[in-house]
Structures are given as C-alpha cells and as structure tokens.
A = this chain, B = another copy of it.
Amino acid sequence: MTEGKRVDWQKARDLCAKIYMARGIPEADAYMVSDNLISAELNGVYSHGITRMKMYMRYIDNGQANSSGEIKIINEGPATLHIDGNNCLGAVVATKAVKKGIAKAKEMGAAIVSVRRSNHFGTAAYYTQMIAEQGMVGIAATNAFPHVAPLGSSKEYLGTNPISFGAPTASGKPMILDMATSVVARGKISVAAEKGEPIPLGWALDADGNPTTDAKAAANGVLLPIAGPKGYGLSLFIDVLSGVLSGAKFGGHLGPHAVGNTSKDTDVGHFFVIVDISRFMPLDEFNERMGVIISDIKALPKIEGVSEIFMPGEIEQRKVDVNMKEGLLLSEALLGELQKMCERFGIDFNL
C-alpha cells in the first residue's frame, strides 16, 4: 500500500496557486481556488481537494471556464445580489460573491446572493465557514451535474445538490453541516465497483431502475436521494434556489451530456443566505447559547459502542488540526498529478 507522503499544507497551497497562475489565473483568484482545495484536503474531504485540479484545469483548457475576468452584478437590491459568474472557476466566483454578500449583510442585517454562470465551487462548507467566521450564520447551496433520480424515476435528473449550514461558536471553530442530498457520492460507487465490492441497498438503482447491491450495475445506473421523498424534495428545491432563481442551467440541462446543450459553459448556479447575528442578539450571547446546545448534546447518554457524540463538522475540524500539524497526506497518484502539472508549466515541484 503506497500511502504517499505528508506535505506542508501551506507549501501545497502555494504550489497549487503557482500552477493556476501559470495557467493565466490572476494571483488573487489562483489563491482563492487553491485555498478552497487545500481547505478540503485539511478537512479530510479528499473528493473536493487537490484531486479536482485536473478537472478545473480541463475546464480552462477546453474553454469551458474562463481563467480570468470579473464577476458581474446583474442586479443589486437592498438585501439581494444577483451575480453573473462570468464563467470563471466556481471557487473564484463563489468566494467573491460571498464576500460581497457578507459586506451587504453587515450593512442590511441579511443578504441573499444568487449566482449564475459559475462552475463547481468546491465544498459548500468552505463558504458557510467564511460566513460563520464573520459572526454570521450562513446557508450555501449549489446545483450540480445530474446523477440522481427523482423519486419514482429510473433516470438521473438532479445533482447531488449539497447544502451547507454554518454558525459561529464560542470556541472560534464554527459548527458546519455540509451534506449532499444523495445517499452517497458517485465516487463511492466507483470505488466499490473497482474493488468488486457490493454496495448497500438504497444507494442506487441499476440502469433499468431496479434497486441494486451490485456496484458495477449501480455505476451504470443512478444515485438515490436521501430519505425518499424528503431528499428528493430537498434536492429539487436546492436546484430551484440555485438554478431556476439565478437564471443558471438546472436539472438535466446541466452538464456536457445534456440534450440541446450548445454552449460549453457549465452554467452552474449557487444560492447563499447570510444573516448577521448582531441584529438578533450580541454575538457573545449567541456563542454562549451555542455553547449550551453543544455541551448539552455532548453530555447526553450514548448508545452502546459510541464513545463520543459529535457536532456537525467536528470530525473534520479534528482532521484539520492533525493535518495542519503533520501535513497533508497526499497519495502517490495525486503527487504524480501535481508533478505533471508542474512539468507542463515549468514549475519547480518542491513539496
């Protein structure tokens, strides 16, 4: 088993940014994407970490995404921002949009930010963390390429459409929930299919719409939403808020395989709710109340075999602590990808 090696997270961030800069992305934007990926690595959300660099690079190489340019405000209301992402990389678009939203929420108490013409924005948690660090509560959601079947259908139409909630706490580490509305990500099924392992019933349907435990059959089929009608409804409403309301593509119209897609743009949509806590109570009081809810839950009796009850995002935060201290554990494959990109752009591969 090749475990790869531990690398300093700041060095990794700088290297990723350097690679993006070499591809024509302005320095500040390159650091936005890089920080987003490294944050996912730190949190142990490897599916949204450095492994995404290849995909983002392909977007730019294909002309699917712009390497530079500015997001545009289509319409600004006292409490609303409607933003055109100008088809830049999603992490750049969403980071800039959320920053504008935070500034508006500071002024008005709350802001709704609706974004179109964006791309895959990384983890939704990245943005609710940004918001929570400003003493605000946040909701972040995005639509995504269709992999999930609406309840009763055998065909994919909705994305894994994640939603994240974030709130500050007294410890300085926000409470963050980041959940896909599908039972699992497609990646989990691919991994099981590669290993020849079965998957639990309820994760997916095969190509004929039958429930299956065969990972290979599932890989050719569709993902299922969480909790039946609830997850289906939640995923659909995330698309209504992210896609329909913003003017982005939605549902089965997203993605390169969509029928009638003449434009290369992925045209992903996002939706953010940002609420300034100080309009409701002093932040200290909110933090204290969060402390009560956390310590209450931590002190509850546990079921057999459970040694600790975790808060949303807590397991990830512990990984951040470890990974910041010990370095990011990058696989040989991932290091190889980084090295190849360095070679392409004549960058010194110095991790």
Q: Which residues of A contact B (CB under 8 A)?
A: 75, 77-80, 82, 105, 107-112, 114, 137, 139, 149-155, 157, 165, 167, 175, 177, 179, 183, 205, 209-210, 226-227, 229-234, 236-237, 239-241, 244-247, 250-252, 273, 275-277, 279-281, 286, 289-290, 293, 296-297, 300-304, 306, 308-312
Contacts and interface: CB of A to CB of B under 8 A. Distances in A.
Classify the secondary structure of A's interface with B.
mixed
Contact of A205 (B157, B233, B303): B303
Closest 6 CB pairs of A and B: A77-B109, A79-B79, A80-B109, A177-B233, A233-B312, A209-B303
A22 B280 CA distance: 36
A286 B82 CA distance: 14
Nearest to A236: B312
Given A80-B280, A152-B308, A165-B233, 20 more contacts: A77-B276, A78-B107, A79-B105, A80-B110, A154-B302, A177-B233, A177-B234, A179-B234, A209-B301, A226-B226, A232-B312, A233-B312, A236-B311, A236-B312, A239-B293, A240-B293, A245-B286, A246-B280, A250-B289, A251-B296
A244 B297 contact: no
